Structure 1
Amino acid sequence: MKSINSLLFAITLGAALLGCTEEQTFDASGSFEADETIISSQTAGTIKEFGIEEGQVLQPGQFIGYVDSIQIFLQKRQLEAQIKALTGRKPNISLQLAALNEQLKTAEREQARLSNLVKADAATPKQLDDASAQVEVIKAQIQAQKSTLNLSTQGISNDATPMEVQIAQLNDQLEKSKIINPVAGTVLVKYAEENEMTAPGKPLYKIADLSTLILRVYISGNQLSQVKIGQQVTVHTDNGTGGFDQTVGSISWINDKAEFTPKTIQTKDERANMVYAVKVNVPNDGRFKIGMYGEINFQ
């Protein structure tokens, strides 16, 4: 009987020790999340093309589709026609001054001829003075005409400037009617479809970069001294067969303010009411999903 009791004790002790070795303890736990971006429409109208699907991987600058912009384009064409008609009324300064310039050349030749005649005593100084005065009169006429034509040209340019600004605004609206993906990532949710009406600020789709996920865990105050930014930690996730997969992540953020323990989170010290949130960047090879549960051990 004594030997049987000893055997039972040994079996019980072995089972207890085996259970202890199999029991896994963690320093903190939480769930995976990602930096999600909601892409919204920048203009109003009917979505004419919207070629994405949930789960699709997009690249920055990738063309996704466009919102109907025919009215904006027609407004631009109208303004361009108005500017063309307006600038067509600009005076041709060189052409309108051509006659006066010819008169000036003739007067200057006459002035030079009379100057030579005066030197040879073949003309009077008064004749030379009259010729010189005629040259000055024509020069003054040219300057006055040039000033008038420049003012007219400047006035037309000033009238065209507001239209050019409106065209720049319409060009900006035309660009915004294109749906261009701004960041790399995977489409998580698609909020709109082709032929639906949209408006500025209305969500079109949600995207997130899933190549690196964030495991948000919570630690108690007495664990703060064990963590720091950039520190590597071991991340454990359920492998679906009763065990855990392991990978390495790095701490990217530690909250400097305590908060009450979320109901869904268990800390190492379950009695802790106030905890600190910690973000751990975890490279994702496709195993991790948003909302998935995970635990960490400090290294």
Structure 2
Amino acid sequence: MHDKRKGLVTLIVMVIVGVGILLPLRVTAFPRQRVVVTASGTIEAEEVKISSEIGGRVVAIFAEEGDPVEEGQLLVQLDDSLLIAQERQAEAEVATARAKLAEVKSGPRPAEIAAARAEVQQAEAELAGARKAYAHAKELLETPHDLIAQIDDAKARIALAKAQLGQAQARYGAAKALRDATTGGSDEDKTKRAVYEQQMVAAQAAIEAAREAQRGAETLLAALEAMRRQPLALIAEVHRTEGQVKIAEAKLALAQAQLDALLAGPRMEEIVAAEAEVQRAEAALHLVQVQREKLSLHSPISGLVTSRLVEPGELAAPGAVLMTVADLDQVTLQIFVPTSKIGHVKLGQEAIVKVDSFPEREFRGRVVYIADRAEFTPKNVQTQEDRVQTVFAVKLQLDNPEHLLKPGMPADATLLE
């Protein structure tokens, strides 16, 4: 009996101790309080600066501040009149080079070959004449008595030319007198006058020919008499005509080589050179076109013009910003979270954003950046108390397909757990 009582007491003590242990645990297991992270900031957007690489005078502006623009839309046009002229000149040079290449590849035309053959024949005739003159000069030098005979012959030709000149002048005078005497208006008189005028024309041609023959004979006579008076002049004539032979031989060789080249067709090096000239001209044209394109400034993105810093007629310096365009498809909101709450913020965490411009709308965003070190609250925060707190910069990214959110809008964000 005593043992049973002792066991009951032990059981009661164990129950009391167990309850004493469990009771504090149950009391302290309160549920964790929900922490709400809210912060304010300003909507920002990625901005693209529109500038000209080479500069120039502004001639037209196609978008104003606040205008929506599409990717590739022309925004600013700089003066390209000089480059237009250079482009046309470069196009002409390309056309010339291409024509030259086609001509080289097609080979010589029949007319070119015929002209080259004529050059060869002309050179052969000149060489024959030079050789004849050289042989004649040598003959005179070696046989002086022939010189006297040629002097007499030249004198006879002069006399003959004078006689022919007198006869031609007489025929011209007679025909002219008959024409002047025929003054009637009948058909017969008109026919006679026409015949007399033809006779005058023929007589005038004979006069010119006789005078030319006389001048040629007189020139020859003067040269022959000079040779007779000064034998050294005859020697000089031999040397002169010999030099003329050599010149004529070189000219014939050159003409023959040109004809042979035409008959052989275009050489590979000529084709390569012509192709290189085409490439050079095309490269020069491309360079001018690239330079001209740089004077037409297009928007690289679709967005909103947030600033316009130039007016038509102004001179834009190279690299100077003329416009800025913001990408509104996605915008960001930077907030500053106190150190005490940063533990409740995670990358990818969703947030609800509201703006004063659309109080009934809620915009969804997500955390895309958390600073890795704390900083003091930026100076643009309103109160001094807030500015002395240490905070972490947090960026939210928001899809903005309707472009309702615009840079500079104040916004409030609530991060969702």
The interval holding the TM-score normalised by the smaller chain is 0.5 to 0.7
Q: Which has the higher strand share?
A: 1
Q: Matches of residues 72-91 of structure 1 in structure 2 within 5 Å?
A: 72-90=83-101, 91=103
Contact 2:104/2:270 (8 A) holds in 1: no
Q: Take 1:95 and 1:157, find their aligned partners in 2: how far apart are those partners?
A: 15
Contact 2:350/2:367 (8 A) holds in 1: yes
- Identical aligned pairs, as a percentage? 29
TM-aligned CA distance change 1:96 to 1:209, over 3 Å: closer
Contact 2:376/2:387 (8 A) holds in 1: no
State the TM-score, normalizing by the size of structure 1.
0.63
Report whether the alignment pairs 1:166 with 2:284: yes
Report whether the alignment pairs 1:46 with 2:57: yes
Q: Take 1:200 and 1:271, find their aligned partners in 2: how far apart are those partners?
A: 41
- Unmatched runs of 5 consecutive residues or more in structure 1: 1-24, 99-140
- Select the residue among 367, 371, 375 that pairs with 1:251: 367
- Unmatched runs of 5 consecutive residues or more in structure 2: 1-35, 111-259
Contact 1:28/1:266 (8 A) holds in 2: no
Q: Take 1:160 and 1:28, find their aligned partners in 2: how far apart are those partners?
A: 66
- Select the residue among 336, 342, 345 that pairs with 1:227: 345
Report whether the alignment pairs 1:35 with 2:46: yes
Q: Take 1:266 and 1:226, find their aligned partners in 2: how far apart are those partners?
A: 24
> Structure 2 counterpart of 1:218, which letter?
F
Kindly state the Cα deviation for residue 246 of structure 1 after the two structures are TM-superposed. Answer: 4.9
State the TM-score, normalizing by the size of structure 2.
0.47
RMSD of aligned alpha carbons: 3.5
TM-aligned CA distance change 1:93 to 1:281, over 3 Å: closer
> Structure 2 counterpart of 1:281, which letter?
Q
TM-aligned CA distance change 1:95 to 1:41, over 3 Å: closer
> Structure 2 counterpart of 1:156, which letter?
A
Q: Take 2:344 and 2:412, find their aligned partners in 1: how far apart are those partners?
A: 16
Kindly state the Cα deviation for residue 189 of structure 1 after the two structures are TM-superposed. Answer: 1.0
Q: Take 1:169 and 1:94, find their aligned partners in 2: how far apart are those partners?
A: 30
Kindly state the Cα deviation for residue 187 of structure 1 after the two structures are TM-superposed. Answer: 1.1
TM-aligned CA distance change 1:168 to 1:288, over 3 Å: closer
TM-aligned CA distance change 1:295 to 1:159, over 3 Å: same
DSSP-derived class of the 2:414 partner: strand
Q: Deviations 1:11-32 (Å, cap 9, x if unpaired)?
A: xxxxxxxxxxxxxx85333222
TM-aligned CA distance change 1:80 to 1:286, over 3 Å: closer
DSSP-derived class of the 1:48 partner: strand
Kindly state the Cα deviation for residue 168 of structure 1 after the two structures are TM-superposed. Answer: 0.9
Q: Which has the higher helix share?
A: 2
> Structure 2 counterpart of 1:62, which letter?
Q
Q: Matches of residues 217-296 of structure 1 in structure 2 within 5 Å?
A: 217-238=335-356, 246-265=362-381, 270=386, 273-283=389-399, 288-296=405-413
TM-aligned CA distance change 1:149 to 1:278, over 3 Å: same
2:415: which partner in 1? 298
Q: Deviations 1:88-107 (Å, cap 9, x if unpaired)?
A: 44454554499xxxxxxxxx
> Structure 2 counterpart of 1:256, which letter?
D
Q: Which moved more, 1:165-174 or 1:244-253?
A: 244-253
Kindly state the Cα deviation for residue 257 of structure 1 after the two structures are TM-superposed. Answer: 3.5
Contact 1:30/1:265 (8 A) holds in 2: no
1:67: which partner in 2? 78
1:186: which partner in 2? 304
Kindly state the Cα deviation for residue 36 of structure 1 after the two structures are TM-superposed. Answer: 1.7
Report whether the alignment pairs 1:202 with 2:202: no
Q: Take 2:57 and 2:98, find their aligned partners in 1: how far apart are those partners?
A: 36
DSSP-derived class of the 1:209 partner: strand
Kindly state the Cα deviation for residue 215 of structure 1 after the two structures are TM-superposed. Answer: 1.4
Q: Take 1:195 and 1:289, find their aligned partners in 2: how far apart are those partners?
A: 30
